[in-house]
Structure 1
Amino acid sequence: MRLTRMADDIPTARVDAVDIIQAAGGSRSEARVFSKLFGIEHVAALPRTDSLLNTFLSLLDRLDVSADETPIDTLIYVHALPIQPIEGEGLTTALIRRHPALTQVKHRYEIDQHNCGGGFWGLKMLQSLFRAGLSQRALLVLGDSLSTFALGERYIPGCTILGDGFVVMLLDNQDDGIQLTPPFIEHRAEFWPGLFVESQQKSAFYAEHNAMMDHALKEIEFSFQTHDTLLPHNINRLTWLNFTRLHPEFEARIDTRLLPEVGHCCAADPFLLLSRRLENSQPLSKRCGLLSIGAGAFIGACSVLPDPQRIAG
């Protein structure tokens, strides 16, 4: 499927990792050790005065969809956390009512049961709709905000700290321009409880994490002969250190630059990285890979293919 435009928003406000861990009941020494080991110093946080709805409306404005274009007929909202801030009517309803680019939406969906892998389930749904001729153009909206919840809710001990980040993507079924390959998705059902398990079960999930990443990358035929970089879920620094010990060739090719100051933005991570990469004035010269392993072992990945015309130009 073709990616025609995308936009992202990482809030400028930051919350110190030490403050978050202390708010969750941890000690200052625990917080310092966690921050150093897992590579998260601050996280991005949407100000309480800024609503999730207005954030996405602003991103839609930045897409600059004109009345002369093929209308958007499908809206999919992906968030990793099932519980979202209460802002009156549902987000998809409000977006359709408030934004002129969405007045012709016929199908709307919300994906919130696949944790940090949800973005790829959204892409898979779009692929099915496009192939069935049920959609011509779609908007994929991704992002979670924890700003209305208690500060300590951002902390997942021994794993990560959650930040806020938001992405909108305009996609269709045309075969020119920047292309997303058919997404690979898989669920390892033995890990279905996610993070809400005993430590032994959680350790088993972490022990399988590298194998799940290897499998996903194999499924999308990821290779540094054809791909330039990997844009992953920024779960924590330690995860990627362990992975690169097994695969040293990845050390300079995994983009984790947002992690220290932004934190783990759940389902949005790889798409935030892609958006920032596409903002570069230099066009993509090689494929890049997108990858997420959500809690509960919801695995998703795809490749992004550069626009041949831009490279040739």
Structure 2
Amino acid sequence: MTEENKGVLYALLAYVIWGAFPLYWKLLEHVDSLEILTNRVIWSFIFTTIFLLLLKQRKHLIEDLKSLWKNKKLFIALLSASLVITCNWYLYIWAVTHDHVVDASLGYYINPLITVVFGVFFFKEKLSKAQMCAVIVAFIGVLIMTLSYGQVPWIALLIAITFATYSALKKKITLDATRGLAIETLFILPLALGFYICTWTTSEPALLNINLFTDLLLILGGIVTAVPLVLFAKGAQRIPQYLIGFFQYFTPTVALIFGVVLYNEPFTTTDLLAFGFIWLAVIIFAASTISEIRKRHFAKKQETVNVKMI
């Protein structure tokens, strides 16, 4: 399996898992969103660090930290990525636990458009005519959906911008995916611990004070968070930015189905029209991507044949 194919598999798995997140966070809607986020940061750091120790990666982790300290640009990039993804986590958790799963889905439909734009402007990636057409068609769908709201969909826009920014920052970071996640959560850990100290002194947090099931959900949120992020980081380093943008449509599609079918959130005829444009864009993008992969494969095969003939 080629590195690009591995990247495709990693990224696809990450987005499918993210799409199923509403099922998990809905079970914690009786807990304050900020406390869910705090537990997510703390337990992600703990489980990722334990995993690294089991893999005997302690020396490499220390070397990464030393390297980061020497390379200020990389340090700032990873610190920025950790802050941005923390904001994204909070926005998504709040949306899901406050019956805005469809809004969160809209955010992740807008996100690939921003990711593709980032790829063109920051990484000098080029889009084919078909891919550009897909972006325009998707933009029309998002515009219809936005206008149907009658106001700026702030939740969706903030979710989209924060994750697209995180994706662009991670593209520049060459650290091992798992160690990178451990360091990202380490940056936010002091804030998370500070929040819990304040909560314990002023009120009663949900952890250890509701029931065992709630405690387990809060703790296991660390593992649920770590797995797709590691997969995403591994995938982002192996595939082009535009392909990441395409795969990101899997997450909101799965979330949309949950929001409408399981949680009975409103889905009007206008919404259906808007999503129709977006789904058409996905089909165009997929067909274009498959066509390009086949062309590259044929070109390599032809080159190999020519070499043998010589």
TM-score between both structures, scaled by the size of structure 2: 0.29
Higher strand content, 1 or 2:
1
**Greater RCO, 1 or 2 (C-alpha within 8 Å, sep 6+):** 2
Q: Which has the larger radius of gyration?
A: 2
